[in-house]
Amino acid sequence: MLKNLTIVGFLLFSIVGFSQQNFKKTLKLMGSRFDITVVANSETEGNQYINTAVSEITRIEKIISSWDSNSETSEINRNAGIKPVKVSEELFNLIERALAISKLTNGAFDISYASMDRIWKYDGSMEQMPSEETIKASVSKVGYENIILDKEEHSVVLKLKGMKIGFGAIGKGYAADKAKALLINKGVKAGIINASGDLNAWGTQANGKDWMVAITNPLNKEKAFSWLPVVNSAVVTSGNYEKFVRFNGIRYSHIIDPRTGYPSTGIISVSIFTSNAEFADAISTSIFVMGVDTGLNFINQLKGVECIIVDENNKVHTSKKIKLENPN
């Protein structure tokens, strides 16, 4: 009898197990490539889940985009040095968390870096290095201390005229976290929201195996360093190797040191492993600004956060708990 029960149990498990599948869709959202994967019982269900994620990401983009003149963010930027702007609780809280990360990183992360967009361009249009005076003038508009939040009014004001905020270094991570949370809330058992290498995963693949991510070698995109299982956590990589400019033999990245107004140098890519993609996104950007030594030291002091850094000499550096086989 016991044996029969076991067999019935096994059969039921098999039927349930086999009907689930991974469904994946790649699309462009927030100006970036998103790969959304969900585990579902049918294609119809899979598509429905993916559409839910897409509408969530689109909704977020409408709030945080600095390109869309109708976004709350653009409204804040338009009113820089003029008046406080009442914003949604969601944007208010995101800015509040961004300011906390600025404090934690000693200003290496700063959403008000954005006014520097006017002088450092990474679309191939820059022909010469901006002058020292131009950089000086622009960086005077950067500084998270001048982003003023009023909790009661739910308002934000950028103190200086010409100041600007942008969520380029935190928005994709935030969107991945929010889309994941919404799908979990809708009962989706497992999936991955991957925003151009900033991803958050939950559950396991339909076959019961862990989701795996490839940590790619920035110098040889065909060759992964290694495949790592991601169990209910986030993996975020900063370092768009196409996005840089070179002047006088120096490679300037698209990440700006908010304190000097100059782009960071010395690092090619940073991957962060932790539970939350928003935090990982912001921190990965900060490490570029901090440099290898300060960056590693910083990560080693954070609980539950690990990193892999590749410097411009192709040397791989890892935080305490990560051991790669023959990384160099």
Side-chain-facing half-sphere of 289: CA atoms under 13 Å? 23
Alpha-carbon torsion angle 157, 163, 168, 169, nearest 10: -80
Nearer to ligand ADP, 46 or 171 (CB): 171
Q: Binding partner of residue 110 among ligand ADP, Mg ion, none, CB under 5 to 8 Å per kind? A: ligand ADP
Report if residue 57 touches ligand ADP, rule: CB under 6 A.
no
Report if residue 239 touches ligand ADP, rule: CB under 6 A.
yes
Minimum separation from the CB atom of position 55 to ligand ADP (A): 23
Q: Binding partner of residue 255 among Mg ion, ligand ADP, none, CB under 5 to 8 Å per kind? A: ligand ADP
What is the residue whose two structure tokens read 């996005």? 243
CB-CB contact of 128 with 247 (8 Å) = yes
Name the nearest CA neighbour of 306 among 278, 290, 283, 327. 283
Among 169, 188, 201, 299, binds ligand ADP (CB under 6 A): 169
Nearer to ligand ADP, 155 or 240 (CB): 240
Report if residue 256 touches ligand ADP, rule: CB under 6 A.
yes
Nearer to ligand ADP, 209 or 246 (CB): 246
Q: Binding partner of residue 46 among ligand ADP, Mg ion, none, CB under 5 to 8 Å per kind? A: none
Nearer to Mg ion, 138 or 285 (CB): 285
Report if residue 244 touches ligand ADP, rule: CB under 6 A.
no
**What stretch of H or E contains 238?**
strand 234-238
Query: Footprint of ligand ADP on residues 86-125 (CB under 6 A)?
Result: 109-111, 113
DSSP readout, 76-141?
HHHTTTT--EE--HHHHHHHHHHHHHHHHTTTSS-GGGGGGGGT---SS---SPPPHHHHHHHHTT
Minimum separation from the CB atom of position 307 to ligand ADP (A): 13
Residues in the interface with ligand ADP (CB under 6 A) total 18
**What stretch of H or E contains 161?**
none
Which structure tokens are listed for 269? Answer: 């890519």
Where helices occur in the chain by DSSP H, the ranges are: 2-19, 43-64, 72-78, 89-104, 132-139, 171-185, 277-290, 292-300
Among 285, 292, 296, 307, binds ligand ADP (CB under 6 A): 285
Nearer to ligand ADP, 130 or 166 (CB): 166
Name the nearest CA neighbour of 145 among 112, 169, 116. 112
Neighbours of 63 (CB within 10 A): 18
Nearer to ligand ADP, 206 or 299 (CB): 299
Among 130, 166, 191, 203, binds ligand ADP (CB under 6 A): 166
Minimum separation from the CB atom of position 42 to ligand ADP (A): 34
Name the nearest CA neighbour of 245 among 236, 235, 256. 256
**What stretch of H or E contains 153?**
none
Positions that interact with Mg ion (CB under 5 A): 169, 238, 281, 284-285
Q: Among all residues, whose Cβ is closest to ligand ADP?
A: 168
Among 29, 30, 183, 289, binds ligand ADP (CB under 6 A): 289
* Contacting residues toward ligand ADP, per CB under 6 A: 109-111, 113, 166, 168-169, 238-240, 254-256, 258, 281, 284-285, 289
